[in-house]
Chain A
Amino acid sequence: MALTSYGVAIREGFEHLLSYHPKVFTIGQGLWSPWYVGNTMTDLEQQFGKARVIDTPVSELATTGAALGAALCGYRPIVIHPRVDFMLLAVDQLVTQAAKWRYMFGGDVAVPLTVRAIINRGGEQGAQHSQALHSWFAHIPGLRVVMPASARDARDLLIASVLCDDPVLYVDDRWLYGIEEEIGPPVELDLAWEGPKLTRSGGDLTLVGAGHSAWLCSEAARALAEDGVSCDVIDVRVLNPFDATLILDSVKRTGRLLAVDGDWATCGFAAEILARVAEEVPPSLLRAPSRRLTLPDAPAPTSGPLERSYYTTVGDVIAAARQIAGVRGDSWE
């Protein structure tokens, strides 16, 4: 079977939704342009028409609000923000309107709005073209937050997000667009039942991450296995509402936790993972202090050497994992 990349898988998700669900449309900046959203939406406007694939003025707030309005009237819109940074102009509609709409109107109003935000960083783009910020949004009750780390999830969690009757922030990462796997035909999942997934089993250490960080964990775990350190790897997938059960069960077995996150440390998602473990895992089961690996608490730098030390690499994850597992070089301490 052929391999499908993460970027192409996203496009397959759109194609499935637009083909089989007439109430789905997508709206945002750059949708008729080949260079805003990589290869994830190529030629959709030619395939499905410009009435359902709508390119917009630079009005993030109004566009997001308009999609919410259409969602309240029976449609299933997908708003595209080609960069998380620009989406911050739309926070009122996302956080104060969409996330609270069902609750403040009694609990029965469906809000089938999906907002797709793309993390687009590296390449010396600097402080305002690099942010992730999923931790902020995972803080908001009523807003489901999804971060796919595999090509299959990139497609199937997009479909699940759009078919969900709650507002969903779907965050994909350009650094993952090239990864490939066999993904089979599209599946329509119920997002309410989706959550963290164990993608690799091992007894020495639990590695946890979401999106690109989950990919870092997988890559690191493969290298660590060659050194004789076996890891549980958990791909968080759904950050809010956050079901930590799988992580807690894993840490109870391994006694060691490394949470990796591509957001900042302070009040970040990695801190949430550590907090759950601190609350739920008896200290007697822990064999080492839990650790997190995140961005340093600084905006993204532009200068090349600074940028190289800013982002977490597979090597950083391996080093931190070894330290937690008490491995020096190739031998156990």
Chain B
Amino acid sequence: MEISADLGTLADSRQHHAPLELPKQNRSWLPGALRRMVLIRTAEDHIGQMVTAGKIRCPCHLAIGQEAVAVGVSKSLRPTDRIFGAHRSHSHYLALGGSLRALMAEVLGKDTGASRGMGGSMHLIDLEHGLRGTVPIVGSTIPIATGAALAAKMDGKGDIAVSYFGDGATEEGVFHESMNLAATLRLPVLFVCENNLFSSHLHISLRQPRDSVARYATAHDIPAVRVDGNDVVAVASAADEAIERMRREPGPFFIEAVTYRWRGHVGPRDDEDVGVRRKDDLVVWRKRDPVQRLYEALREAGDADSASLELIEREVLAEVAFAWAQAEQDPFPPPESLLSRVYGRPS
């Protein structure tokens, strides 16, 4: 199918394989970012294995391959910001610093989970770090984040809201309603579209006449940038600039981060639910690995080597295993929580 290719090389799986271009200054956060991305990948890989093993039953949508977006955006966020995610939000949760044990407990439906076992993988919350909620109804948190931005503007303390969603959500009407509202009321909401080119099984060329969604922001008079979503430096730099401006002068901003998911729409298999040319493409996309490209750049700069990477990987693996073991031991919600958590307690 012919499609207008606004994304240029960003959508070309054969491009952008080289190590990242590192900034000359302020690089001290990058080893931490590498570790965070390895953590997300390792945790999600573990969750995938546990789904295959039948130990996790709830639907899990893995963000392996997309780690750089959440880690890059989170760099400039603070706990009083209000962040909302969607169905594929383990990465958003972990990038903000969410507890591994609470994540594992949540996907197991345990009382110690992030949502006390009432939400599962698709409903994560971590108020301590600013994550206000993630939900799987496509596009549904976009207006909610917009309203959180309205609250932030009323508070007048320079906080912002972040709305993470995928390219599929741009096909929902509420996305456009929310962008119009945010632009009209000048609300400090950062729209972050992770354009991974797929909505469930359908490639964007089968859903839209153009491959880039940033044009919708332009239509709503919202400033927008397109970035390589597998380049944590590029994402962080775009987010930094936008967020700094939004804190000073409330108003919306749009980032289209082009990326690719390595797994199926839901679950651990890499080919599940996916159509068009996926198998050949995936091999090439894996070479645009956000983790590897950052590592290679740090290695070339002398900030990392194979021993330091191995150490990170070993430590993270141990953290994940420990969190999982704890979560497996944790209790399920008590029987009365079936009814006692529907309404607030009367005063």
Contact = CB atoms under 8 A, between A and B. Distances in A.
B148 A72 contact: yes
A74 interface: yes
Contacts of B317: none
B123 A105 contact: yes
B177 A142 contact: no
Contacts of A59: 177-178, 180-181
Given A74-B151, A103-B342, A62 B181 contact: yes
B342 A106 contact: no
A75 B155 CA distance: 10
A253 B245 CA distance: 69
Interface residues on B, range: 35 or more
Interface residues of A, number: 46
B79 to A, nearest CB: 13
Interface string B149-160: 111101100000
Contact of B344 (A25, A102, A104): A102
Given A61-B174, A92-B137, A69 B123 contact: no
B82 interface: yes
B76 interface: no
B75 to A, nearest CB: 22
B121 to A, nearest CB: 12
Contacts of B118: 103-107
A255 interface: no
Main SS class of interface, A:
mixed
A303 interface: no
Contacts of B147: 65-73, 77
Interface stretch (B32-40, B138-146, B282-290): B138-146
Which are the 7 A-B pairs with shortest beta-carbon distances?
A: A69-B147, A65-B143, A107-B341, A66-B147, A106-B116, A192-B346, A62-B177
Interface of A: 25, 51, 54, 56-57, 59, 61-75, 77, 92-93, 96-97, 101-110, 141-142, 144, 164-166, 190, 192-193, 241
12 contacts: A65-B146, A65-B178, A93-B140, A96-B137, A102-B343, A105-B118, A106-B113, A106-B116, A110-B344, A142-B342, A190-B346, A192-B344
Interface of B: 82, 84, 113-119, 123, 125, 132-133, 135, 137, 140, 142-152, 154-155, 161, 173-174, 177-178, 180-181, 184-185, 337, 340-347
